[in-house]
Each structure stands twice: as C-alpha cells, then as structure tokens.
C-alpha cells in the first residue's frame, strides 16, 4: 500500500467538491537537501525518488500517476488547457504557468518553492486550474489570465472558488525598489508593499494575489488563504531563497470534477 504524504487543504475547495492538495516537504523518500517530499529532479535529486514521490501524491489525489500534469514554468502568463488525451510527458515539455482542465480523472499541478501556488475551481462547470505565480508572473498577470481562461468556456468568476497556498511571506520577501514598484502597480491593492522594514521594501505576495483574484471577479469570501511561510518554516517547506539551488520543490494540485456535482475529497494524510 502506498504511503500517503502530508498535505494541506482548503476548506472552500473541499466544500465545493474539488480534490486537491498543497503538499508540504514531509512524507516522501528523497534524501539530503531534498528530504523528503521533493517533486523535481532538476536540482540534483534522483529520478527514482521523485517518481516515488509523484506516485504518493497521485495516490493522495485519487488519480493515476500518469495523470499528473504540470508544465515547464517560465514566470510568465501563458495558460495551457488540457482536453485529457495528452501524454503527461509531452505536456511537461510545454512552457506556461497555469494549467487547466475539465477532465475529472487528472490533476492540474504546479511546482513551487517560495512562489505562490493558486488552485481555482469553477463550482458550476467543474473546471479547475493550478497557477504558479512568482513576482514576475504576478506582474505579467498570470492570475487574471487563468481566471479569464476558466471563464472562456462559459464559466463565471462569481462562481469560482480559489485557494492561495503557502509561499514566501511578507517578512521574508525583501526586494529592490524597482521590483517593489512593479508589484505595487500589479493590482489596485494599496498595501502590498511595506517600506517600514528598512533598508529595503518588503512585499506581500499573498495580498497581491488576493487582490488580483478579486479584480478578476471572484468574491472575497470565495478566496482561501492556506497559511505557511516557505522561508521561515524549514521543517515544513522547501525554500529557494533560504537554501539556494539545491533545494526541493513542492507540488500543488487540483482535480476537476463533474459539472454541478460535489464529491468528497480524500482525507488529510
């Protein structure tokens, strides 16, 4: 029997019937700086360990491991719509930062370490999206692009629910003035940048993403915040900023569901 890894859930997505997970770094087989639940071999982890970790994630989500789909993320705003007959290996060669589908036997996934993972579900159509938003992606508008793509098939933002996963916190995200200026202009929120923490400004990416979701048409009470600072909680999360290139990557994933149906998700591991 496959050991299920540790993950966090959104009460809003769960109540809407979307199986999903924000996986932590615990419950896998990777070793060293990748211990234990790492989902990328790019920084030096073994392919076999990552494959086993993916198998555990698939079991937690209730899908086949060959039905875990993620892209080559490039910190932009490109979206990728899946019809369900694509090979996962081929999709992983595509560039983009938001992956969407209505097919209820696959998982839309993103891999992160400090960047913001966002999972979105349309409660009427059952379509779901996984979004990767670092600061460049946030400035490029990947979040509104994903909402617009979800709405393009007849969905309405007012029917969508979303969850913002663990990411680098305001206290840890120190940036240059030019970067702060770009992020301040990426939404109408007035309190995204904090200049009281001298000598350089800090940015609240979670607040920025929430503002962008609201501006895209989601209700404020339809947006969930899954707390956790990837930099400040090393026992639970990987962090590129804290640990450098030889660090792991988390997986955030959501499974679309049948239109107008509600189904119970898997129990918390």
Question: What digits encode the pLDDT tens for the residues 98-121?
Answer: 999 999 999 999 999 999 999 999
Give the torsion through C-alpha atoms of 39, 40, 45, 46, to 10 deg: 80
Confidence of residue 1 (pLDDT cuts 50, 70, 90): low
Confidence of residue 198 (pLDDT cuts 50, 70, 90): confident
Are the CB atoms for 113 and 239 separated by under 8 Å?
Answer: yes
Count of beta carbons in the 10 Å neighbourhood of residue 160:
27
pTM, rounded to two decimals: 0.95
Structure confidence at residue 263 (pLDDT): 38
Ordered domains of the chain (ranges, CATH): 7-254 (3.60.140.10)
Residue found by looking up tokens 């607040």 in the block: 207
Count of beta carbons in the 10 Å neighbourhood of residue 45:
25
Tell me: pLDDT of 266 over 70. Answer: no
What 3-state DSSP class applies to 99? strand
d(CA 97, CA 113): 14
């Amino acid at each position: 029997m496959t050991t299920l890894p540790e993950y966090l859930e959104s009460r809003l997505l769960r109540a809407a019937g979307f199986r999903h997970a924000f996986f932590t770094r615990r419950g896998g087989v990777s070793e060293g700086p990748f211990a234990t639940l790492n989902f990328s071999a790019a920084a030096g982890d073994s392919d076999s360990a990552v494959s086993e970790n993916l198998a555990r994630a698939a079991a937690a989500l209730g899908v086949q491991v060959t039905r875990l789909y993620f892209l080559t993320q490039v910190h932009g705003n490109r979206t990728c719509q899946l019809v369900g007959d694509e090979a996962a290996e081929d999709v992983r060669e595509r560039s983009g930062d938001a992956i969407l589908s209505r097919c209820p036997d696959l998982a839309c996934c993103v891999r992160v370490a400090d960047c913001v993972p966002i999972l979105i579900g349309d409660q009427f159509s059952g379509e779901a999206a996984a979004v990767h938003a670092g600061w460049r992606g946030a400035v490029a508008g990947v979040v509104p692009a994903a909402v617009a793509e979800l709405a393009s098939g007849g969905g309405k933002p007012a029917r969508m629910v979303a969850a913002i996963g663990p990411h680098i916190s305001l206290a840890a995200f120190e940036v240059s003035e030019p970067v702060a200026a770009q992020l301040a202009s990426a939404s109408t929120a007035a309190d995204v940048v904090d200049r009281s923490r001298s000598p350089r400004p800090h940015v609240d990416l979670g607040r920025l993403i929430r503002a962008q979701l609201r501006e895209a048409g989601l209700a404020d009470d339809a947006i969930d915040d899954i707390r956790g600072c990837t930099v400040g909680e090393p026992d639970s999360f990987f962090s590129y900023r804290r640990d450098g290139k030889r660090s792991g990557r988390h997986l955030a994933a959501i499974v679309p569901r049948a239109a107008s149906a509600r189904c119970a998700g898997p129990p918390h591991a």
